[in-house]
Homo-oligomer: A and B are copies of this chain.
Amino acid sequence: MSVTSNKVSLPVIKRLPKYYRYVLEMQKNGVVKVSSSELARMMGTTASQVRQDFNCFGGFGQQGIGYHIDVLADQISKLLFSENKLDTILIGTGRLGRAISGYLTAEARGYHLMAAFDKSPEEIGKTLDCGVPISNIADLEALCAGRVPDVAVLCIPRDSARQLAPILVGMGIKGFWNFSHYDLSVDYEGITVENVHLGDSLMTLGYRVRNEHQD
């Protein structure tokens, strides 16, 4: 209840990428303008919510006459991305880590993968598809001493994440993209954490499929 006016709430921030996807698709299809109610239908929400969300970022155009797709695409893009890419390190180069490195280098703008680490002797010395070499996790602090990364992507087991997190926070990491089963967000309130709990997602799906399709 005591939110500062400049601070946009997390649920609104989390909807931005979804708006962006729908806006880009309309742009691709040659749509020029869109109303808040049309956007709401695509997003599965209400027109009032769309207008409220956009007002958090200055409004994105005049209400009543609809939003210009090009303006929306441009404004949301400026919010989501930046000329200054976030220096990023990947920790854990197993199958998931390698799949994720593709996202970082190809699909997602705004990130620069500067190094990758693993503890397995079989991985160290190899190179990711994007050309980044895999270093020994033991050299983490030495290799990042000259240039502190902004973001660490954790594709490692729960216990490794728990051990490494305080070291990474101590190094100055500002954000985590966390695929381990360890909830970093509970421990580090000042740090930005996106937990992606694939196991949780799969358990939730199983519960819902079994319970919503019973009898």
Please encode chain A, from 194 to 213, with 1 for each CB lying within 8 Å of some chain B CB and 0 for all others. 10111111111111111111
Q: Check if B185 sits within 8 Å of A79, measured CB to CB.
A: no
Which of B100, B103, B198 is A103 in contact with, Cβ under 8 Å? Answer: B198
Q: Separation in Å of the A97 CB from the closest CB of chain B? A: 8
Is A183 on the interface with B (CB-CB < 8 A)? yes
Q: Check if A207 sits within 8 Å of B16, measured CB to CB.
A: yes
Q: Check if B17 sits within 8 Å of A203, measured CB to CB.
A: yes
Q: Separation in Å of the A188 CB from the closest CB of chain B? A: 11
Please encode chain A, from 96 to 110, with 1 for each CB lying within 8 Å of some chain B CB and 0 for all others. 101110111001101
Q: Check if B210 sits within 8 Å of A86, measured CB to CB.
A: yes
Is A60 on the interface with B (CB-CB < 8 A)? no
With A95-B98, A181-B21, A197-B17 already in contact, the answer to whether A175 and B103 are too (CB < 8 A) is no
How extensive is the interface on chain A, given as a class? 35 or more
Q: Check if B110 sits within 8 Å of A102, measured CB to CB.
A: no
- List residues of chain B with CB within 8 A of the CB of A81: 203, 206
- List residues of chain B with CB within 8 A of the CB of A8: 211
Q: Check if A209 sits within 8 Å of B196, measured CB to CB.
A: no
A 19-68 contacts with B by CB, 8 A: 20-21, 42-44
Interface, chain A (partner B; CB < 8 A)? 8, 10, 13-14, 16-18, 20-21, 42-44, 79-82, 86, 94-96, 98-100, 102-104, 107-108, 110-111, 150-151, 174-175, 177, 181, 183, 185-186, 192, 194, 196-213
The 6 closest A-B pairs by CB, nearest first: A17-B200, A175-B209, A95-B99, A17-B203, A96-B99, A194-B205
